[in-house]
Amino acid sequence: MANRRETLFGIDLRSLAAFRIGIGALLLTDLGMRATDLTAHYTDNGIVPRSLLDDRLRDSWRWSWHMLNGSAAFQAALFLVAAFAAAALMVGFRTRFATVVSWLLLVSLHARNPFIVNAGDVLLRVVLFWSVFLPLGAVWSIDHRYRPQAVPKNPTTSVASAAILLQVACMYWMTAYFKWHGVWLTPDGFRRVVELDSYAKPFAYQLLSFPDLLPWMGYGVLSLEICGPILAFSPFATKPIRLLVFVCFCLLHIGIELSLTVGLFSIISMLAWILFIPDIFWNRCNAKLPQHLPPTPSTTDRQRWIASTVNGFVLLIAIYVPIWNFATVRGGWLNRYQQTLSPFVELTGLRQKWNMFVAPPSSDGWYVAVARLKDGQTVDLLRDGSPADWRSFEKPVYAYRRFPNHRWRKFYRQLSQRHSDSMFPYICRFLGGRWNATHPESQRAKSVELHFMEPVESEAGEVPDSFMQQVLHEELFEPTASSFEQDSAP
């Protein structure tokens, strides 16, 4: 029985180490990408000043150290601390402490600008939480090099190891459940996803050349999301089946990455599946495992008491998370439990809802920011200052290329879905201020108009061929160049 429990819910220490290295590298990559938009996304001179979020945070249990100060210097300091913690996690130095710091700073960062948080960010946040309770630094780490006596039994089996494996499975089951009641059960479901303007890459448009194949690809994705995690916990031939499931999901996410711009979602998903890699893979790779040294008798009782307390706490959380997930899809009487759990999941960053691409529209719109300059010219600030002519208002061939990175794409997509009127002035001020800070007096903007090209409703499943132009906001101003810090922007 114990061996079966280890096989199903245990994690090989080498898999944990590979996962740790990957997560640390991903955190550093994420911080580097976010740092290019530090002023735009995280300061009071950007598109989401703290005043815009005051009410949002005041009425919830969410918290953020990044909200303590709106200057670029303060945000840069927090980014630097997060980078040191991520680097320490990657090399396994003071691993537990580095994991806790990385998790706390990630929760804080996401709360500072929730408009650019996507499903990949949420998955990274929740697996980082569960990682706090796992021996990430047991092998292949600086900690192990200088404290070899701390190597735990392999595989490590605990409530936390079961919880993080089930968390990964839960993500796929929930997104499959959401899709089960929508357009994904029709032949047009997958086609609607790959032709979604703000996500689709050139490879996605190549897939449209195979209309007879697209429905089967959609059914295949849905089947894998349902059956793959179930097979990963198969009581028979568990290890070889897990290797096969790992390969299948890696191929799925490589396909998603080639077709759609989804930020870091594909990478973090593949990293999460590393946790399922069994010992037969590492043994075949001749990746030797340090010999397990049992704890000394003088510390056994204390360690058992700590382990029991931590396992009890983690077990309680592990019960809460599935209830929260089911409440997001079922509602009804589960809403009472969701409301009760809300403070805890917001404090810990465990809030999650896996409804990615559940009901994709047949098309989505795009934004145009028209600046009228002092010299009489009109330019589109979302097209690198190109003339604001008919090209600005024509549907772009590859809409995702209008954004320098996925954070900006997520922000503008959130904007179109939420119709956040209160945010429009800040966007215009930032775009106009950034332009004025880098151009001479004669070419400074006198006003900035934010337009949205909205697709006109058409027959179900048909791509609209006409769009309606909306003027969302006009900002009149002549800010000084010194009042804006230069940063990368859309």
How many other CB atoms are there within 10 angstroms of residue 468's CB atom?
A: 12
Selected residue with higher pLDDT from 457 and 360: 360
pLDDT at residue number 481: 44
Would you state the pLDDT for residue 333? 63
Of the ranges 126-130, 302-306, 336-340, which is most confident? 126-130
Structure confidence at residue 297 (pLDDT): 46
Q: What is the pLDDT of residues 259-275, one digit of tens each?
A: 999 999 999 999 999 99
Question: Is 485 a residue whose pLDDT tops 60?
Answer: no
| Amino acid found at 9 | F
Q: 275 near 16, Cβ under 8 Å?
A: yes
Whether 96 shows a pLDDT value over 60: the answer reads yes
Check residue 478 and give its pLDDT.
Answer: 62
Q: Is the pLDDT of residue 460 over 80?
A: no
Domain locations along the chain: 2-348, 366-483
The model's confidence at residue 484, banded by pLDDT at 50, 70 and 90, is very low
pLDDT at 206 over 70: yes
Report the chain's mean pLDDT, rounded to a whole number: 86
Residue 483 to residue 297: CA distance in whole angstroms: 64
Amino acid at 380: D
Three-class SS of residue 68? coil
* pLDDT at residue 242 greater than cutoff 70: yes
Query: What are the pLDDT digits (tens) for 410-426?
Result: 998 888 766 577 889 99
Residue 485 three-state SS: coil
Q: What is the pLDDT of residue 119?
A: 94
The pLDDT value given to residue 1 = 58
- How wide is the angle at C-alpha 63 spanned by C-alphas 117 and 420, nearest 5°? 50
Between 1 and 25, the more confident residue is 25
337-380: pLDDT as tens digits: 777 778 888 899 999 989 888 877 655 778 899 999 999 899 99
**Count of Cβ atoms closer than 10 Å to residue 466 Cβ:** 9
7, 222, 287 from 217: Cα distances, Å: 32, 9, 36
- Paired with 371 in beta bridges are 379, 448
Of 72, 48, 99, 414, nearest in space to 57 by CA: 48
| pLDDT tens sequence across 148-205 | 666 678 899 999 999 999 999 999 999 999 888 778 888 888 888 888 878 888 898 8
- How confident is residue 486, by pLDDT bands cut at 50, 70 and 90? very low
Instruction: Write out pLDDT tens, residues 37-50.
Output: 999 999 999 999 99
**Residue type at 372 in one-letter notation:** R
Of the listed ranges 178-187, 211-220, 223-232, the one predicted with least confidence: 178-187
At 473, is the secondary structure helix, strand, or coil? strand
Percent above pLDDT 90 for the chain: 53
Span 50-74, average pLDDT: 88
Residue 248 CB partners (closer than 8 Å, separation 6+): 224, 228
Whether 233 has a pLDDT exceeding 80, the answer reads yes
Q: Burial code of 403-433, b = ≥16 C-beta within 10 A, e = fewer?
A: bebbbbbbbbbbbbeeebeebbbbbbbbbbb
Q: According to the model, what pLDDT value does residue 2 have?
A: 64
* Residue 440 burial (CB count, 10 A): 10
Residue 219 CB neighbours (<10 A): 15
For the cut 60, the answer to whether the pLDDT of residue 66 exceeds it is yes
Whole-angstrom Cα distance, residue 130 to residue 115? 24
pLDDT of residue 231: 97
The answer to whether residue 489 scores a pLDDT higher than 50 is: no
Are the C-beta atoms of 353 and 326 separated by less than 8 Å?
no
Q: What is the pLDDT of residue 120?
A: 96
Q: Which residue has the higher pLDDT, 224 or 327?
A: 224
Which parts of 113-158 fold into alpha helices (H)?
119-131, 142-146
15 band by pLDDT with thresholds 50, 70 and 90 = very high
**Given this model, what pLDDT does residue 200 score?**
86
